[in-house]
Structure 1
Amino acid sequence: MSMVLLVTNRPHLARQVRLEWDSVRQRHVLLAPEGVLLLNHTGATILGLCDGERTVVEIVEGLRGQYNRVVDDEVRDFLNRLVAKRWVELDDE
């Protein structure tokens, strides 16, 4: 797997990671053996689009349909941090 996020990569959650709604905290969480990450609505939306089918460009386009301001670099930075933790994996096109 590549460690450098490219616009043609197709990100998806690593096998051991789950995106879930935490009814106690009333927010989405990313659960992994290494810990829990509390997500804001935007982070949960990004990860919900990481299905291994959509490219990074397609994820950004999908976000533009839901939010007024989407910055490509911020989306890539968010995904890069999760790739570095091995919570998100990248498939090549």
Structure 2
Amino acid sequence: MSEQTTSVNTQVEPDMIPALNKMFRFQWEKAQDCYVLLYPEGMIQLNGPAGEILALVDGERSVQAITDALQAKFPDAGDISADILEFLGGAYEQHWITL
């Protein structure tokens, strides 16, 4: 049984401003029918929620502004703030974004 670490969202706060790491390019990939992150060694296919979050990561919006925009876009999803913090924490650990 593997031991899981505690949630990474402790390093991501609502007032932080995430930016895409310059090593990656975010784009819609028509052939894959999804958003992807391109980097020199390959490509990362993103699921729908990940693509929606990263589409708003522009180096200007705060985590709170991203959360507010997604909450307005998907009002029936309930409170998604914890999910966004968790995803951004993981994206930071994977070096997809900077904070």
Quote the RMSD (CA, aligned, Å).
1.7
Q: Which protein is bigger by CA-based radius of gyration?
A: 2
2:96 to 82, 87, 92: 87
Gaps of 5+ in 2: 1-9
Q: Is residue 33 of structure 2 the alignment partner of residue 26 of structure 1?
A: yes
TM-score, scaled relative to structure 1: 0.84
Q: How many aligned positions are there?
A: 88
What do residues 2-33 of structure 1 show as CA deviations (whole Å, max 9, x unaligned)?
Answer: x9211110001001111111121111111224
1:58, 1:50 → 2: CA distance?
Answer: 10
TM-score, scaled relative to structure 2: 0.79
Gaps of 5+ in 1: none
Query: Between Structure 1 and Structure 2, which shows a larger proportion of helix residues?
Result: 2
Query: Between Structure 1 and Structure 2, which shows a larger proportion of strand residues?
Result: 1
Matched letter for residue 11 of structure 1: P
